[in-house]
Amino acid sequence: MTVRAALLTEIGAPLRLVDLALPEPRPDQVRVRIAATGVCHSDLSLARGTLRQAVPAVLGHESAGTVVSVGASVTSVAPGDRVVLVWAAPCRECWFCSIGEPWLCERSSDAAAAPYASAEGQEVYPGLSTGGFASETVVGERSVLPVPDGVPLEHAALVGCAVMTGIGAVLETARVQPGQSVLVVGLGGVGLSAVMGAKLAGAAKVIVVDRSPEKLALARSLGATDVLEAGGELAKQVRALTSGRGADHAVDCVGLADTIRSSWSATRRGGTTTVVGIGGKEQQVTFSALELFHFARTIKGCVYGGADPSVLMPRILEHAARSEIDLAALITDTIGLDGIDAAFADMEQGRGARVIVVP
């Protein structure tokens, strides 16, 4: 059976709409009709070569949809079930999974390196093990989680990456406590989700930084208490808002050397900086030995929110079902498969929060 997909044929090239020959699921797999897929910065990084991905590939990993069919050994879902896709599904068997760090699973990206379909006589790979820029995809059973009634699939899709990552960075990696102050740098889908996470954590002060007035206004509507336009002396500005100390926590959602360094400098003595944004290997961050000693700050990397998706995703979806977080506010545009390249261009210019693709 063929399905429609947006295909990346080579790094840096525009996506092409093709008919994809998608096989029926193997015993441990699930076939999903895609309802929506968010356009994530990681997709842009894959398309431009910042992150490695075999090609030709169908990108898109922030997806939700409806189960069409299941393999013979699948027991957790059935045809007709509404599901969100997990792009980094833990294997539950490797060393990292065994010590309770499934977000660092050694095998979570194995599916991305194996062809899952064909187009125009070539084998095709699933971007980040998902292949969400298509009308349907086939993934492993561990890569789907149920979506509760009351949460539209277009909203649930965002939980598959941006919302899981941003909220997880605050609740699980940084472990923000009630009454603390949080600085969020960069207000894409992940940064805005971090703002929602800070509100869920009970942060007393949520300071946000971005170049876009529209994103700053959106962040304020989601719970930010103070907004700063990028380009100022960040550490000085943040100290002025935090009794001269700096923020208890900084969450960098950009990943550039300058933003990581300025986020760290805006954190108080003994505070924590969590780096969520994915920068290139050429981005080098430097600290002096004296300041590392003197400030006693902690800096952490954060992969997929630093959380077990099978635990955190259901919690986030329940928050959404109870209207405790506003997923709809993150969506700034809805496009078809033919609009993804334009969405990438907007993303490179810092426009919009989250664009969703409805195939």
The pLDDT of residue 53 is: 86
Two tokens at 66? 């409806």
Separation between Cα atoms, residue 329 and residue 104, nearest integer Å: 30
The pLDDT of residue 1 is: 77
Distances 324 to 57, 160, 218 between C-alpha atoms, Å:
36, 18, 16
Two tokens at 274? 């969590």
Cis bond upstream, residue 56 (ω within 30): yes
Q: Are 121 and 47 in contact (CB under 8 A)?
A: no
Nearest to 10, CA basis, from 50, 60, 54, 40:
54
Two tokens at 129? 């093990």
DSSP string for 312-323:
HHHHHHHHHHTT
φ, ψ of residue 184 in degrees (nearest 5): -115, 120
Domains parsed from the chain with CATH numbers? 2-160+326-357 (3.90.180.10), 163-303 (3.40.50.720)
Question: Token pair 């969100």 is at which residue?
Answer: 84
268 SS3 class: strand
Q: Are 115 and 125 in contact (CB under 8 A)?
A: yes
The pLDDT of residue 269 is: 98
The pLDDT of residue 166 is: 98
Nearest to 183, CA basis, from 139, 240, 108:
240
The pLDDT of residue 87 is: 97
Identify the bridge partners of residue 32 per DSSP, sorted by sequence position.
67, 137
The pLDDT of residue 108 is: 95
The pLDDT of residue 51 is: 85
What region does 175 belong to: left with phi over 0, alpha with psi -120 to 50, or beta? left
Q: Distance between alpha carbon 108 and the CA centroid of its chain, in Å?
A: 15
From first to last of the 359 residues of the chain, give the pLDDT tens digit.
Answer: 799 999 999 999 999 999 999 999 999 999 999 999 999 989 999 999 888 889 999 999 999 999 999 999 999 999 999 999 999 999 999 999 999 999 999 999 999 999 999 998 999 999 999 999 999 999 999 999 999 999 999 999 999 999 999 999 999 999 999 999 999 999 999 999 999 999 999 999 999 999 999 999 999 999 999 999 999 999 999 999 999 999 999 999 999 999 999 999 999 999 999 999 988 889 999 999 999 999 999 999 999 999 999 999 999 999 999 999 999 999 999 999 999 999 999 888 877 779 999 99
Question: Token pair 């379909």 is at which residue?
Answer: 117
DSSP state of 165: H
Q: What is the pTM of this model?
A: 0.95
The pLDDT of residue 309 is: 97
Two tokens at 296? 């006693």
